[in-house]
Amino acid sequence: TQVDREWLQEYVDDWVAFYRKVTVEGNVASYIPELAKADPNHLGISILGKNGTAVRSGDVDQAFTIQSISKVLSFIIACVEKGVGYVLDRVDVEPTGEAFNSIMHLEMKSLNKPFNPFVNAGALTVTSMLNGNTPEEKLAPILELLEKIIGYRPVINEQVFRSEFETSARNRAIGYYLLETGFLESDLELTLDTYFRQCSIEITVDDLAKIGLILANDGEDPNNEEEIIPRQVARITKALMLTCGMYDASGKFATYVGIPAKSGVSGGILALAPPRVRNTQFPFIEGCGIGVFGPALEERGNSIAGIKLLKHIASQWDLSIF
């Protein structure tokens, strides 16, 4: 039988209160100085079901920058603009087992292309593919897609953008390597500027849950069956999230949590449960979108409490896609 709404809310509130204690074991990202200002105690979750049921708990109104989760959006837009074949000819779909900003695999000897769109080498390559000659032009379709999904036009956090721009030695090193090897399809400065801006888009856990809901339903808005993201692109995106979405902890996340997810260093996690997951007690979780925010990170750069909270929910509600 279906549980009542109030009970469900208390249930999730209890988990958030419990996992908030875990935040002390992590650290907020500081390599982008502006991100170090985040409150490490924050933890929030938003779950949005197909039938409109929303369960929100914790610091749900705290805005944060999207960071690496933006790689999902730039990949989707590049596929829409250039075609899936074009994009995947230039960026592979293999996990690296290395950190997101690793330069270990840059020589790409066997594959001859960046490993996947979610490591920085692949993400910069994807951003360089986006149509447009200015950061504004390149970002417009990403912001339009977001606006369509979340219902308002998100802003770019200028402080975070500046802060990353001014401390971007590692991403510049990756960028110069891509330039030298002929992977960049736009000017390097334009690519970096656009990439730092896309990472600085401000969102909330509710926004992430809405994006998750669309992806969960293979790119369709379950409320009106409108296609927001082409089905094939949504499917590939979810496969990439599962295999490469949680950096070098992706294998563990797939094993212990078992749902597609993408994290960012500001502490956000975009996750979803496919509609094929059946649950008679909690039917709203079939094909739901999930947004999590907890800026204290574990050593690989994922929200420490966020991962534990997702793991708990996934096991309680049997969300694993396997």
Q: Which of residues 191-250 bind ligand GLN (CB under 6 A)?
A: 199
DSSP state string for 3-20: PPHHHHHHHHHHHHHHHH
Min dist CB 4 to ligand GLN, Å, is: 38
**171 annotated as ligand-binding:** yes
Min dist CB 70 to ligand GLN, Å, is: 8
**CB-CB contact of 163 with 32 (8 Å):** yes
x/- site string to ligand GLN, residues 38 to 67, per CB under 6 A? Answer: -----------------------------x
**302 annotated as ligand-binding:** no
**163 annotated as ligand-binding:** no
**177 annotated as ligand-binding:** no
Q: Which helix or strand (DSSP H or E) is residue 129 part of? A: helix 120-129
Cβ neighbours for 189, distance < 8 A, ≥ 6 positions apart? none
Residue 161 within binding range of ligand GLN, rule CB under 6 A: no
Residue 101 within binding range of ligand GLN, rule CB under 6 A: yes
Task: Classify 83 as helix, strand or coil.
Answer: coil
* CB nearer to ligand GLN: pick between 164 and 286: 164
Instruction: Supply the residues annotated as catalytic.
Output: 68, 71, 195, 247, 265
Q: Where are the beta strands (DSSP E) in the chain?
A: 44-48, 54-58, 64-65, 202-203, 220-221, 226-227, 261-263, 268-272, 289-293
Distance CA 79, CA 130 (A): 9
Query: Residue from 23, 57, 96, 120 that binds ligand GLN (CB under 6 A)?
Result: 120
Distance CA 298, CA 26 (A): 5
* CB nearer to ligand GLN: pick between 57 and 70: 70
* CB nearer to ligand GLN: pick between 304 and 319: 304
Strands 44-48 and 54-58: antiparallel
Residue 265 within binding range of ligand GLN, rule CB under 6 A: yes
Min dist CB 69 to ligand GLN, Å, is: 7
Query: Residue from 34, 59, 92, 164 that binds ligand GLN (CB under 6 A)?
Result: 164
**164 annotated as ligand-binding:** yes
Length of the chain: 322
Distance CA 117, CA 123 (A): 5
Q: Which residues bind ligand GLN (CB under 6 A)?
A: 67-68, 100-101, 120, 164, 171, 199, 264-265, 301
- Binding positions for substrate: 68, 120, 164, 171, 195, 247, 265
